[in-house]
């Protein structure tokens, strides 16, 4: 009997609902699973009948000495076992294929749904928590489907069929086996309940060790700078010792299960053999029946033990499936917009929609009773009395009003938490405002489909994220149909071309681990090149040049000025030198604009901006 491997046993909160949801996926392949069930029945039936045939083989051929009959009987038994073996091979292969297909569909639907979730969902859930749905939970479901589905059916049929066949052979002897099976079942339940408690503690201790090791690996520089190796080693040893104690207790109980069940099965066999032998001597049982019966006795304990283990594994998988389906049922990002973005060209002074990419776009605004109206995409963004809070009871923006005309560069400065980044997030409709209006080229952004709205924007944030792939692929992420020359031109504008060409493979250099083989400044330059290749009417720079030296920053600004001519730019910066040439500078505090104007006008006011610029007040 195989040692049961514990995987973190937890019952699902709503087993029925989870099972119905999972059966919905299985229903897509119901004929395949029905075939699996049929092959399992054939395999189990061949095993049970092969054992029962020992009775006629012994009584009819071995005892009388009929060699030719014995050969024919052995051939028939061999054929039956061969059918069982082929059925076993068949259902194993089919189960693997069907299980992998179902898990692929679950993983696909989960990924699609996660992409539809609003940002507020990710704010409330850690990345590790969400990743565990794709890894641990999906793997648990996959393991259960690969092993448990067919095994549960087979073990149930095997246990039930074995008891029935023993009753057919001898009702009186079967009472002994039933008593032993009851004792085994009671022990399995007792042992399982005790070991489960210790395994839960073990999993908790393992989680603490994993978290500590992850922190140490990520903080190696800090550890070495402060000579903290000895203390960290002591902390690790303490965690490791706690894990050892809990694991020892847990494995002590699970280690008892197999030898105890085996010992009980041997005792069951010995008692059955002795009593059966006495019955045979007394003429109450023939030798063939006794031989078949004793084989059934030997195999009666195994399906009970495996059935219990597979049920636990299945419940663990259902708990994982429940977490997956809970994520799938999370409310997706709503989008009631009907205004879309389209390519246009100008004919006789009027805009005409065209399927070709022209580099000129317009908003297609549906009108009741008439054809859709085309509004040229310019990048005119306006806020009017906008009120917003990430949670209703705490406002971040209090009646913000501002406008940014096409071609203007608008800057936001202020302390941390003043609401600068929040304004940017609202333009993208990452979050929905509580009251007020935000218009884009005169259209309420709530009417614009989110995908089209975001297609018209490009954003460079301080926390640069690069994907696994080449440098060219990462720049092209801003516009997938960009040519190689457009990618290189965007890199030149962002002042990234020179360092890219110095790399061994140039634009074909592979990036891994979020571009860890590049400096922070180089990663930021690639993010700016990604925005440049998109050529959007509105560009958002959220601390975009914080990791770049002032000389490179000036070169980038010149490049940006070239591609953003006649377009709107929003800038958030702590470095005030980067906002001096802005058309308008908004100074925010506690969700309100307390000062606005250009650089010279704000200095003349000698208010908060003046204090920031002269160093009398520092941004927090």
Residue 237 lies in a domain: no
**Per-residue model confidence as pLDDT tens digits over 420-466:** 888 888 998 888 899 999 999 999 999 999 989 988 888 887 777 88
Is residue 182 assigned to a domain? no
Structure tokens given for 21:
């949801």
Q: How many CA atoms lie within 13 A of 393 on its CB side?
A: 0
Among residues 357, 376, 395, which one ends one of the domains? 376
pLDDT score, position 202: 74
**CATH number, domain at 427?**
3.40.50.300
Q: Are residues 153 and 85 in the same domain?
A: yes
Q: How far apart are CA 191 and CA 195, in angstroms?
A: 6
- Is residue 272, in this structure, part of any structural domain at all? no
Are residues 392 and 497 part of one domain?
yes
Residues 56 and 79 reside in one and the same domain = yes
**Contact present, 201 and 246 (Cβ < 8 Å):** yes
Higher pLDDT, 145 or 315: 145
Pair 344, 449 in one domain: no
Is 607 part of a structural domain of the chain?
yes
Count Cβ atoms below 10 Å from residue 566 Cβ, excluding itself.
Answer: 10
Nearest in space to 387 (alpha carbons), one of 428, 430, 419, 413: 419
| 498 in the same domain as 579 | yes
**Residue 555 token pair:** 């070169």
Question: In this predicted structure, what is the pLDDT of residue 5?
Answer: 41
3-state helix/strand/coil string of 373-439? EEEECCCCEEEEEEEECCECCECCEEEEEEEECCCCEEEEEECCCCCHHHHHHHHCCCCCCCEEEEE
59 DSSP 8-state letter = I
In this structure, the answer to whether residues 609 and 507 fall within a common structural domain is yes
Do 525 and 433 sit in the same domain of this protein? yes
Structure confidence at residue 437 (pLDDT): 94
Same domain, 412 and 469: yes
Domain span at residue 345? Answer: 340-376
Same domain, 516 and 392: yes
Regarding beta strands 538-542 and 568-572, do their DSSP bridges make them parallel or antiparallel, or are they unpaired?
parallel
Residue 585: what are its φ and ψ, rounded to 5°?
-120, 125
**Contact indicator for 35, 73 with CB cutoff of 8 Å:** no
283 occurs within a structural domain? no
- Residues whose CB is less than 8 angstroms from the CB of residue 129 and which lie 6 or more positions away in sequence, other chains included: none
In the three-class reduction of DSSP (H, G, I as helix; E, B as strand; rest coil), residue 370 is classed as strand
In the predicted model, is pLDDT for residue 11 greater than 70? no
In a domain, 498, yes or no: yes
**What does the alpha-carbon distance between residue 268 and residue 248 come to, in Å, rounded to a whole number?**
30
Structure token pair of residue 567:
């377009």
Domain count of the chain? Answer: 3
Judged against a pLDDT cut of 60, whether residue 502 lies above it is answered with: yes
| Neighbour-count burial of 484, counting CB atoms closer than 10 A to its CB (0-12 exposed, 13-18 middle, 19+ buried) | exposed
Residue 396 lies in a domain: yes
Q: Do 448 and 363 lie in a common domain? A: no
Cα separation, 386 vs 397, in Å, equals 7
In a domain, 358, yes or no: yes
Q: What is the pLDDT of residues 66-89, one digit of tens each?
A: 788 888 888 888 888 898 889 889
For residue 566, what pLDDT is reported? 65
| Rg of the chain over all Cα atoms, to the nearest angstrom | 36
Residue 434 and residue 469 share a domain: yes
The pTM of this model reads 0.73
Answer yes or no: is pLDDT of 2 > 50. no
Q: Identify whether residues 312 and 427 lie together within a single domain.
A: no
């Amino acid at each position: 009997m195989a040692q049961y491997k514990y995987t973190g046993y937890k019952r699902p909160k709503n087993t029925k609902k989870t099972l119905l949801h999972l059966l919905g996926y299985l229903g897509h392949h119901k004929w395949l699973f029905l075939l699996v069930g049929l092959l399992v029945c054939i395999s189990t039936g061949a095993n049970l009948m092969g054992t029962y045939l020992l009775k006629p083989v012994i009584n009819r051929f071995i005892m009388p000495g009929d060699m030719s009959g014995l050969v024919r009987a052995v051939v028939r038994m061999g054929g039956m076992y061969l059918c069982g073996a082929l059925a076993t091979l068949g259902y194993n292969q089919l189960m693997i294929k069907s299980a992998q297909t179902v898990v692929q569909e679950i993983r696909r639907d989960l990924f699609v749904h996660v992409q539809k979730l609003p940002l507020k969902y990710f704010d409330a859930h850690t990345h590790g928590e969400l990743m565990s749905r794709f890894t641990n939970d999906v793997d648990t479901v996959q393991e259960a489907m690969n092993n448990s589905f067919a095994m549960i059916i087979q073990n149930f049929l095997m246990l039930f069929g074995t008891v029935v066949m023993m009753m057919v052979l001898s009702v009186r002897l079967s009472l002994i086996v039933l008593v032993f099976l009851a004792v085994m079942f009671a022990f399995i339940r007792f042992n399982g309940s005790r070991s489960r408690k210790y395994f839960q503690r073990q999993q908790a201790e393992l989680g603490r060790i994993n978290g500590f090791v992850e922190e140490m690996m990520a903080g190696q520089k800090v550890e070495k700078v402060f000579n903290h190796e000895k203390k960290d080693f002591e902390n690790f040893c303490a965690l490791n010792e706690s894990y050892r104690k809990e694991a020892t207790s847990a494995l002590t109980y699970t280690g008892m299960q197999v030898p105890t069940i085996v010992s009980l099965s041997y005792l069951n066999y010995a008692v059955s053999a002795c009593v059966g032998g006495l019955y045979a001597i007394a003429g109450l049982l023939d030798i063939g029946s006794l031989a078949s019966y004793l084989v059934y006795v030997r195999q009666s304990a195994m399906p009970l033990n495996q059935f219990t283990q597979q049920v636990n594994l299945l419940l663990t998988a259902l708990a994982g499936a429940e977490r997956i389906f809970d994520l799938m049922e999370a409310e997706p990002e709503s989008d009631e917009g009907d205004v879309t973005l389209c390519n246009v060209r100008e004919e006789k002074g009027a805009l005409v929609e065209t399927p070709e990419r022209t580099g000129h776009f317009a908003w297609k605004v549906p009108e009741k009773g008439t054809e859709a109206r085309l509004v040229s995409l310019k990048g005119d963004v306006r806020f009017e009395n906008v009120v917003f809070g990430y949670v209703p009871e705490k406002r971040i923006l209090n009646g913000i009003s501002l406008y940014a005309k096409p071609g203007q560069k608008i800057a936001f400065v202020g302390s941390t938490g003043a609401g600068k980044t929040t304004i940017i997030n609202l333009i993208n409709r990452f979050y929905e405002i509580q009251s007020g209006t935000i218009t884009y080229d005169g259209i309420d952004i709530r009417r614009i489909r989110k995908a089209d709205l975001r297609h018209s924007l490009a954003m460079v944030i301080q926390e640069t994220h690069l994907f696994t792939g080449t440098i060219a692929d990462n720049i092209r992420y801003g516009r997938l149909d960009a040519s190689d020359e457009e990618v290189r031109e965007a890199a030149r504008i962002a002042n990234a071309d020179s360092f890219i060409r110095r790399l061994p493979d140039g634009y074909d250099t592979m990036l891994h681990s979020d571009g860890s083989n590049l400096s922070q400044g180089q990663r930021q330059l690639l993010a700016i090149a990604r925005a440049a290749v998109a050529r959007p009417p509105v560009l958002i720079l959220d601390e975009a040049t914080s990791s770049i030296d002032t000389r490179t920053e000036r070169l980038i600004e010149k490049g940006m000025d070239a591609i953003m001519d006649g377009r709107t730019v929003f800038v958030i910066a702590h470095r005030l030198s980067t906002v001096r040439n802005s058309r308008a500078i908004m100074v925010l505090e506690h969700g309100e604009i307390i000062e606005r104007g250009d650089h010279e006008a704000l200095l003349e006011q000698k208010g908060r901006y003046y204090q920031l610029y002269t160093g009398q007040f520092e941004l927090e």
